[in-house]
Structure 1
Amino acid sequence: MPHDRRLLVAIHDVGPRFESQVDALVDRLARLLGQMRFAMLVVPNHWGEAPLSSNRAYQARLRRWAEAGVEMFVHGWFHRDDSAHDGAIARLKARHMTAREGEFLGLGHAEALRLMTDGRRLIEDVVGAPAAGFVAPAWLYGDGARAALAEAGFAVAEDHMRVWQPATDRTIARGPVITWASRSRPRIASSLAVAALAPGLLRGQRVARVAVHPGDTGVPRLLASIDRTLSAMARDRTVSRYADLVP
Structure 2
Amino acid sequence: MTETKRLLASIHDVGPGFEREVEQLAALLERRLGGPRFAMLVVPDHWGRHPLDSAPAFKARLRAWSDAGVEMFVHGWFHRDYAEHRGLARIKARHMTASEGEFLGLEEAEALRRMYKGRALVEDATGRAAAGFIAPAWLYGPGARAALRRSGLALAEDHWRVWDAASDKVLARGPVITWASRSAARTVSSIAFAGLARQVLPVLPTVRIAVHPGDVTKPELIASIDTTLARFARSHEPSRYAQIHV
Q: TM-score range by the shorter chain?
A: over 0.9
2:68 alignment partner AA:
A
Find the residue that maps to 1:148 and give its secondary structure. Answer: helix
Aligned residue for 2:51?
Answer: 51
Alignment of 1:64-213 (within 5 A): 64-85=64-85, 87-213=86-212
- Runs of 5+ consecutive residues of structure 2 not aligned to the other structure: none
- Following the alignment from structure 1 to structure 2, what is the Cα–Cα distance between the partners of residues 22 and 50? 14
Q: Is the 8 A contact 2:109 2:147 kept in 1?
A: yes
1:110 alignment partner AA:
A
Find the residue that maps to 1:178 and give its secondary structure. Answer: strand
Aligned residue for 2:7?
Answer: 7
Q: Tell me the alpha carbon deviations over residues 201-220 of structure 1, each in whole angstroms, 9 at most, x when there is no partner.
A: 11221100000000000000
Asked if 1:39 corresponds to 2:28, the answer is no
- Runs of 5+ consecutive residues of structure 1 not aligned to the other structure: none
Find the residue that maps to 1:63 and give its secondary structure. Answer: helix
2:5 alignment partner AA:
R
Q: CA deviation at 1:11?
A: 0.1
- Following the alignment from structure 1 to structure 2, what is the Cα–Cα distance between the partners of residues 34 and 207? 18
Q: Is the 8 A contact 1:149 1:167 kept in 2?
A: yes
Paired residues, number: 245
Find the residue that maps to 1:37 and give its secondary structure. Answer: coil
Find the residue that maps to 2:202 and give its secondary structure. Answer: coil
- Following the alignment from structure 1 to structure 2, what is the Cα–Cα distance between the partners of residues 199 and 117? 37
Find the residue that maps to 1:48 and give its secondary structure. Answer: coil
Question: TM-score, normalised on structure 1?
Answer: 0.98
Q: CA deviation at 1:32?
A: 1.2
Q: Is the 8 A contact 2:76 2:102 kept in 1?
A: yes
Find the residue that maps to 2:121 and give its secondary structure. Answer: helix
CA RMSD between the two structures: 0.8
- Following the alignment from structure 1 to structure 2, what is the Cα–Cα distance between the partners of residues 186 and 15? 27
- Following the alignment from structure 1 to structure 2, what is the Cα–Cα distance between the partners of residues 142 and 96? 16
Q: CA deviation at 1:3?
A: 5.5
Find the residue that maps to 2:106 and give its secondary structure. Answer: coil
Runs (4+) of structure 1 moved beyond 4 Å?
A: none
State percent identity of aligned pairs. 61
Q: Tell me the alpha carbon deviations over residues 124-183 of structure 1, each in whole angstroms, 9 at most, x when there is no partner.
A: 011000000000000000000000000001111000100000111000000000000000
